Amino acid sequence: MSIPLIETDHLIIREFVAADADAHRQISEQSFNISIAAPDHESWMRWTLLNYRELDKLYQPPYGDRAVVLKTNGELIGIVGVVPSIVPWGVIDTLRAPDEPPNYLVSPEFGLFWAIRADQRGKGYAGEAAHTIIDYLFQTMHVRRVIATTEHANAASQRVMQKLGMTIHRNPSDKPFWFEVVGVLDHPWHKRDIMSSTAGR
């Protein structure tokens, strides 16, 4: 189930290799405004490289980071990937049944994420890379739904979600503190089934 090397109009999406460690660390620190100690990142990189093979052996989803590389010069400019993401759907008013009270029960989802180096943002690369992963998840893995999460203040990430066709839902509460905005994109087959069911009522 591993994601193969994929080429788009401007990008190559591929697995990370050991030589990418410094670039990955720089993009991660810059994008998430964090500082990563060198030993911690080295450990993470070893785990990531092993993770590709071990998940594939177990026929598990291709969780983890992939490198976003420019086709023109091979420069590594970003990260895109899939993580197991838990979502407390019950905190969103519009997604609960009419008589269902707010609740914090969670379910696991295929969480999409992306990070592009600051000097390469605003060129559509985040959307191009994310769309490629969505296509793989829908067409090859037949995933029912893909989600992405972000903060209320992260307007740029929300714009990417909208360009991907996601429906954006906002948590009206401050609980749980780690869940603010979620973008949801259903597989086209599932959307069709919902529309057919609604039309038949």
Residues in CB range of 19: below 8 A, 6 or more apart: none
Do the beta carbons of residue 112 and residue 130 sit within 8 Å?
yes
Of 116, 119, 122, give the one whose Cα is nearest residue 69. Answer: 116
Query: And the tokens for 181?
Result: 């905005």
Which H helix or E strand runs over 145?
Answer: strand 145-150
Q: Would you state the pLDDT for residue 2?
A: 83
pLDDT band of residue 140 (cuts 50, 70, 90) is very high
pLDDT of residue 19 exceeding 90, the answer is yes
Q: What value does the mean pLDDT take over residues 166-176?
A: 96
Do the beta carbons of residue 76 and residue 83 sit within 8 Å?
no
Q: What value does the mean pLDDT take over residues 65-94?
A: 96
pTM of this prediction?
0.89
Distance CA 112, CA 85 (A): 9
Q: Would you state the pLDDT for residue 192?
A: 56
Of 65, 78, 48, 77, give the one whose Cα is nearest residue 3. Answer: 65
- Give the model confidence (pLDDT) of 38-79 as tens digits: 999 999 999 999 999 999 999 999 999 999 999 999 999 999
Q: Find the distance separating the first CA and the last CA of the chain, reported in whole Å.
A: 39
